[in-house]
């Protein structure tokens, strides 16, 4: 029953908000936060059982291929905790932030549907559920991006609708081809069925994996496929941007990609190389593009592409240490990038602008926002002891270690990628120095002299996320032992040396 | 059998051409519609080749069509709003976001 709760609670909350909002305007504030909080608490209670080696499974309907299968293992639990923590923070932030838009209950309904879609992706044990989850989350997300119904919102949303639909159609075609060849869609059965059908010797399977790479690559916004991300993430309402950059692109893009390339097809040298090259290109190109931005949320959006590059680089190595670094960076990026988006939203709320050239000296006027942004900037630039330092360090160590134990003949590539990762982290520091310098330091412009700190309900999620950044950084052995090791165990059997 | 798959591939590419090359909002959406139908057709062919009604391909075909329908409804609604705001259906003139 337990896995079903992650679908039923947000869906039920959406219904309750829809019904009650007609008689009570603030029903959304209460029920959305209750739902996300309870989801987060439920996901935390599962840490102990998963660590003991239990798995949770639930079959809705028949056990035939037509039933709906949900499972929770170490990897999906890690994603569930991340999703539901960030969604709780965002819905808490929305209470005051979304006052500027009309039809707030509808916003909460769409948000609940998006959370439900992401949970279905993570829980789903076959490709049909995966696809349905991706589609639900994506449709809710298109509507949320367009929520402001002004020129920019509509344009960004339409761009993403076109690209996202082409991506989901590629994924669907890939699923059709894999079903034709292997005869099943259950992820556990697919691994053997794909191997029996000839694996990468079978041209149809090669074609379907290329379709998956394109489809999920578009969803995860790696560099040749990134055109929609800066528009969508910078124009969406801030709590939605935080969810989009923090978990959405990871769940519907990266997590699905990992599922397909590890648990279904199995990592081959060719895919390992493709993933690492995509990651390295994303790191270098996106960080340079981020440096050139003067809109704070746009800068953060480009920086998201760069950090996703780090995660893909780690996953592509395929060694247990590489996967550990990638998954660790995934949860770290989720916390500090959402925090940065919430901070940018607070600055926008207080001053009415996102243009870095018009801001400055806000540290005196907005202490909470200033301090939390500084913590997040330290984390993302990789200063010890903040959490971003450890995960980047693990990824670089894994690259160096792979020279010895990785695929033979890849040694020059591993060295190149390690250098790119180092250069990328240094350039990240430059990006965030620019952000800090132009928003929080320097002289305070005349017209900002009366700026005041945002309400406490917007400060609270920022403080909690900053505490998570520091806490995970200091207690990283505990996080690795209790949360990450079970997740790495799920993947490393399919990776290099498994 | 090969002929039907070729038809699906041609339809998919025709749709993709419409999405990539056309400048009119509505024509782009029609391109998407053609792509959705081509994927639906793939599932129809899959179900047929199993010798009878295939459970999964039937489900997936329906899911593909319903998903496509939902997305297209949203797209058409967005395109109406876009036309109201920008006063044009030409994609190359709807360009406020850049950088």
Q: Is A452 exposed, middle or buried (0-12, 13-18, 19+ CB in 10 A)?
A: exposed
All residues at 6 or more sequence positions from A206 whose CB lies less than 8 Å from its CB, including other chains: A200
Q: Which residues of B touch A168 (CB under 8 A)?
A: 67, 71
Mutation site for A-interface testing, chosen from B37, B53, B67 by largest number of A Cβ within 10 Å: B67
Residue of B60, B68, B78 with shortest CB distance to A157: B78
Residue of A143, A150, A151 with shortest CB distance to B74: A143
Predicted pLDDT at A237: 93
Predicted pLDDT at B27: 94
Chain A residue with minimum CA distance to B55: A66
Q: Which residues of A touch B78 (CB under 8 A)?
A: 142, 146, 154, 157-158, 161
Distance of CA B81 to the CA centre of its chain: 20
Predicted pLDDT at A201: 84
All residues at 6 or more sequence positions from A469 whose CB lies less than 8 Å from its CB, including other chains: A332, A335, A336, A339, A375, A376, A379, A386, A387, A388
Predicted pLDDT at A186: 86
Quick one: pLDDT band at residue B37, thresholds 50, 70, 90?
Answer: very high
Residues 20-49 of B with CB under 8 A from A: 25, 28, 32, 35-36, 39, 42-43, 46, 49
> For chain A (length 498 residues), average pLDDT per consecutive 10?
90 95 89 95 93 86 74 92 95 92 91 95 90 94 93 93 94 91 86 86 90 93 90 93 93 91 87 93 94 93 94 92 94 94 94 90 90 94 90 94 88 93 94 92 86 91 95 93 90 78
Quick one: pLDDT band at residue B49, thresholds 50, 70, 90?
Answer: low
Asked if residue A247 lies in contact with residue A334, where contact means CB atoms within 8 angstroms, the answer is yes
Q: Give the separation between CA A241 and CA A223, rounded to whole angstroms.
A: 19
Q: Give the separation between CA A249 and CA A255, rounded to whole angstroms.
A: 9
Residue A60, CA atoms < 13 Å, CB-side half-sphere: 17
Q: Give the separation between CA A158 and CA A336, rounded to whole angstroms.
A: 28
How wide is the angle at C-alpha A244 spanned by C-alphas B91 and A431, nearest 5°?
90
Smallest CA-to-CA distance from A106 within A156, A155, A148 is with: A148
Helices A367-381 and A387-405: crossing angle in degrees, nearest 10, is: 10
For CA atoms A282, A283, A288, A289, the dihedral sign is positive
For B58-65, the CB contacts below 8 A with 24+ separation are B59/A66, B59/A128, B60/A128, B60/A172, B60/A175, B60/A176, B60/A179, B63/A128, B63/A131, B63/A132, B64/A172, B64/B36, B64/B39, B64/B40, B65/B36, B65/B40
Query: Chain B: nearest CA to A128, how far in angstroms?
Result: 7
Whether B52 has a pLDDT exceeding 60, the answer reads no
Predicted pLDDT at A495: 79
The answer to whether A166 contacts B55, with C-beta atoms less than 8 Å apart, is no
Distance of CA A346 to the CA centre of its chain: 21
Q: Say yes or no: A335 contacts chain B, CB-CB below 8 A.
A: no
Q: Which residues of A touch B86 (CB under 8 A)?
A: 151
Question: pLDDT above 70 covers what percent of chain A?
Answer: 99
Predicted pLDDT at A323: 93
Residue spans of the domains in chain A: they are 267-498
Predicted pLDDT at B51: 56
Residue of B59, B81, B97 with shortest CB distance to A235: B97
Q: Which residues of A touch B36 (CB under 8 A)?
A: 169
Mutation site for A-interface testing, chosen from B25, B50, B64, B95 by largest number of A Cβ within 10 Å: B64
Predicted pLDDT at A493: 85
Predicted pLDDT at A211: 94
Helices within chain B (DSSP H only): 2-21, 25-49, 55-86
Mutation site for A-interface testing, chosen from B78, B82, B83 by largest number of A Cβ within 10 Å: B78
The answer to whether A158 contacts B55, with C-beta atoms less than 8 Å apart, is no
Place of tokens 């590890």: A262
Q: Say yes or no: A142 contacts chain B, CB-CB below 8 A.
A: yes
Whether B50 has a pLDDT exceeding 80, the answer reads no
The answer to whether B74 contacts A161, with C-beta atoms less than 8 Å apart, is yes
- The encoded tokens of residue A393 equal 């360090």
């Amino acid at each position: 029953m337990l896995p079903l709760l992650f679908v039923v609670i947000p869906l039920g909350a959406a219904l309750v908000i829809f019904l009650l909002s007609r008689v009570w305007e603030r029903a959304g504030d209460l029920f959305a936060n209750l739902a996300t909080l309870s989801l987060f608490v439920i996901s935390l209670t599962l840490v102990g059982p998963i660590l003991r080696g239990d798995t949770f499974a639930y079959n809705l309907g028949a056990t035939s291929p037509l039933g709906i299968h949900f499972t929770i293992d170490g990897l999906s639990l890690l994603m569930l905790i991340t999703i539901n923590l960030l969604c709780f923070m965002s819905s808490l932030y929305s209470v005051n932030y979304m006052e500027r838009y009309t039809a707030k209950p509808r916003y909460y309904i769409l948000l609940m549907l998006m959370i439900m879609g992401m949970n279905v992706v993570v829980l789903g044990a076959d490709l049909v559920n995966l696809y349905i989850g991706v589609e639900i989350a994506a449709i809710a997300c298109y509507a949320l991006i367009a929520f402001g119904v002004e020129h920019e919102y509509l344009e960004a949303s339409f761009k993403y609708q076109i690209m996202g639909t082409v991506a989901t159609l590629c994924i669907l075609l890939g699923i059709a081809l894999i079903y034709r060849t292997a005869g099943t869609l259950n992820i556990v059965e697919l691994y053997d069925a794909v191997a029996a059908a000839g694996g990468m010797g079978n041209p149809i399977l090669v074609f379907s994996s290329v379709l998956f790479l394109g489809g999920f690559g578009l969803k995860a916004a790696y560099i040749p496929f990134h055109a929609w991300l800066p528009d969508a993430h910078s124009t969406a309402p801030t709590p939605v941007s935080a969810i989009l950059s923090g978990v959405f692109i990871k769940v519907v893009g990266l997590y699905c990609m990992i599922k397909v390339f590890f648990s279904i097809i199995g990592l081959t040298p060719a895919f390992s190389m493709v993933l690492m090259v995509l990651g390295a290109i994303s790191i270098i190109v996106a960080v340079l593009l981020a440096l050139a931005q003067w809109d704070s949320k746009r800068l953060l959006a480009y920086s998201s592409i760069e950090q996703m590059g780090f995660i893909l680089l780690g996953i592509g190595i395929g060694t247990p240490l590489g996967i550990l670094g990638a998954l660790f960076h995934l949860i770290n990026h989720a916390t500090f990038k959402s925090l940065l988006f919430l901070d940018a939203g607070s600055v926008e709320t207080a001053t009415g602008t996102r243009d870095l050239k018009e801001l400055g000296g806000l540290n005196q006027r907005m202490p909470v926002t200033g301090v939390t942004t500084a913590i997040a900037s330290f984390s993302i630039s990789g200063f010890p002891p903040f959490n971003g330092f450890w995960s980047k360090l693990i990824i670089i160590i894994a690259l160096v270690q792979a020279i010895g134990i990785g695929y033979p003949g890849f040694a020059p590539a591993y060295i190149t990628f390690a250098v790119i990762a180092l250069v990328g982290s240094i350039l990240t520091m430059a990006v965030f120095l620019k952000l800090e310098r132009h928003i929080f330091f320097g002289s305070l412009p005349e017209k900002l002299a009366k700026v005041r700190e945002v309400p406490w309900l917007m400060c609270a999620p920022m403080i909690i996320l900053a505490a998570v950044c520091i806490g995970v950084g200091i207690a990283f052995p505990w996080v690795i032992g209790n949360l990450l090791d079970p997740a790495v165990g799920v993947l490393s059997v399919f990776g290099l040396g498994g | 059998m090969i002929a039907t798959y070729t038809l699906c591939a041609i339809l998919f590419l025709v749709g993709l051409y419409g999405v990539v090359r056309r400048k009119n909002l509505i024509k782009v959406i029609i391109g998407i519609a053609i792509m959705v139908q081509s994927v639906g057709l793939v599932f129809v062919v899959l179900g047929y080749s199993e010798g009878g009604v295939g459970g999964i391909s039937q489900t997936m075909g329906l899911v593909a069509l319903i998903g496509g329908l939902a997305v297209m409804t949203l797209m058409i609604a967005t395109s109406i709003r876009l036309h109201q705001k920008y006063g044009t259906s030409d994609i190359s003139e709807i360009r406020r976001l850049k950088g």
